[in-house]
Amino acid sequence: MSRRLGESSLDVLQDISIVGNSPEARRVRRATKKLAKIEGNILIVGETGVGKDLFAQHVHLRSNRKNKNLVKINCASFGKTIEAKHLYGEEGEYEDSVTRTIGLLEKAHKGILYLDNLDAMNKDYQDEFLRILEDGTFRRVGGSENIEIDIRVISSVEDDMTPEVEKNEFRRDLYHLLNTLTVKIPALRERKQDIPELFSYFLAKYCDENKSEEPAVQSEIFESILEYDWKGNIRELENTVQNLIIMSPEGELSPDYLPFRIKRHPLDFLEPRNLKGIVSDVEIYLIKKALGKFGGNQVKAARLLGIPEATLRFKMKKYSIPKD
């Protein structure tokens, strides 16, 4: 999470805008502006894929720390891919010279440290972070001097951490230190009116990246995406749009390439009732569609439906379906 050379904060904010005009989306945008002006630590709560990283970036770019680093750490990596030397840095002597490496904490000095998946932080690192944040100092691995540090911390979790705190699985004092300010990012299913705008935003984004014209979008796609619950939230929607662009024929997005879990079932228009009546509705619908496809040609329509022409004529008479 670093700004490209020559870009202003405004440029980047335009590139990573929080899309949507629902009350929920407007509330999130207002929150980034308000919380950016305050120096307290922030806890972001929201399901996976709702845009917690995006919120943290907006706060950083609107704050007086925008010219320093926003350093992201996945707390689930502590003790695994992230060891003490990566967090604190390291120093030592080698052939009469002193070598130093800068750790993640030092990179975040005067900037913002973003602790993703805070609830996954193990006990040892909980103890360490409490000491670092209270003392405002740390020591490199192999070093002998304390180094002062000035950081603001933004943390994120998927759910309320109160149960973990009550069970002593997460230190209460550290939790309250990091939870000075709290913001809840709504799930996409709670702001469905933003889905068409988000869809159009990602469509334009990936068409621009692929240097292609924006294709037409069949109404069935919008019907399907508005009915789906989006458990993966905005990230799942973005992946869906990207897949549609890649897989659909050039010039038009086809609902055929929607993931099965999202695609609206072709019989969704039917209401549960007498089974014979439902079968009749389906037959009428398919016969009319087949006839329309071939301009009323019964031979071709029967062949498409996989029934004898005589059976087609019988059903047309039964359901009073006109020949043309």
How far CA 41 is from CA of 155, 179, 273, in Å, comes to 8, 6, 56
Residue that wins the pLDDT comparison between 273 and 154: 154
What b-and-e string marks burial along 29-50, b requiring 16 or more CB atoms within 10 Å of the CB? eebbeebbeeeebbbbbbbebb
114 lies in the same domain as 248: no
pLDDT digits (tens, 9 = 90+) for 68-122: 999 999 999 999 999 999 999 998 877 777 788 999 999 999 999 999 999 999 9
CATH of residue 293: 1.10.10.60
Phi, psi of 284 (to 5 degrees): -60, -45
pTM score, whole prediction: 0.78
Domain end, chosen from 134, 169, 186, is at 186
Region 276-285: what's the mean pLDDT? 84
178 lies in the same domain as 198: no
- In the three-class reduction of DSSP (H, G, I as helix; E, B as strand; rest coil), residue 76 is classed as helix
178 lies in the same domain as 37: yes
Q: Report if residue 197 sits inside a domain.
A: yes
Q: Report if residue 70 sits inside a domain.
A: yes
pLDDT digits (tens, 9 = 90+) for 229-262: 999 999 999 999 999 998 888 778 888 889 888 8
Q: Report if residue 1 sits inside a domain.
A: no
Q: Report if residue 121 sits inside a domain.
A: yes
Q: Is the dihedral of CA 302, 305, 310, 314 positive or negative?
A: negative
166 lies in the same domain as 224: no
pLDDT digits (tens, 9 = 90+) for 6-62: 445 545 455 567 899 999 999 999 999 999 999 999 999 999 999 999 999 999 999
CATH of residue 126: 3.40.50.300
24 lies in the same domain as 155: yes
200 lies in the same domain as 181: no
Residue 275: predicted pLDDT: 77
173 lies in the same domain as 198: no
Maximum Cα–Cα distance across the chain? 100
Domain limits for position 229: 189-257
114 lies in the same domain as 231: no
Number of domains in the chain: 3
141 lies in the same domain as 215: no
pLDDT digits (tens, 9 = 90+) for 294-305: 989 999 999 999
Element (H, E) at 183: strand 181-184
Q: How far apart are CA 15 and CA 212, in angstroms?
A: 19
Q: Report if residue 150 sits inside a domain.
A: yes
174 lies in the same domain as 200: no
Q: Report if residue 266 sits inside a domain.
A: no
| pLDDT band at residue 323 using 50, 70 and 90 as cut-offs | confident
Domain end, chosen from 186, 209, 238, is at 186
Residue 173: predicted pLDDT: 96
Strands (E), 20-173: 42-45, 70-74, 89-94, 97-102, 112-116, 137-138, 147-148, 152-157
Q: Are strands 112-116 and 70-74 parallel, antiparallel or unpaired?
A: parallel
Q: Report if residue 57 sits inside a domain.
A: yes
Phi-psi region of 258 (alpha: psi -120 to 50; beta: other; left: phi over 0): beta
| pLDDT band at residue 4 using 50, 70 and 90 as cut-offs | very low
Q: Report if residue 182 sits inside a domain.
A: yes
CATH of residue 205: 1.10.8.60
21 lies in the same domain as 147: yes
Q: Are 237 and 230 in contact (CB under 8 A)?
A: yes
73 lies in the same domain as 215: no
DSSP code, position 72: E
Q: How far apart are CA 297 and CA 106, in angstroms?
A: 76
Domain end, chosen from 151, 169, 186, is at 186
Q: Are 111 and 69 in contact (CB under 8 A)?
A: yes
How far CA 292 is from CA of 144, 218, 220, 256, 266, in Å, comes to 84, 19, 19, 21, 18
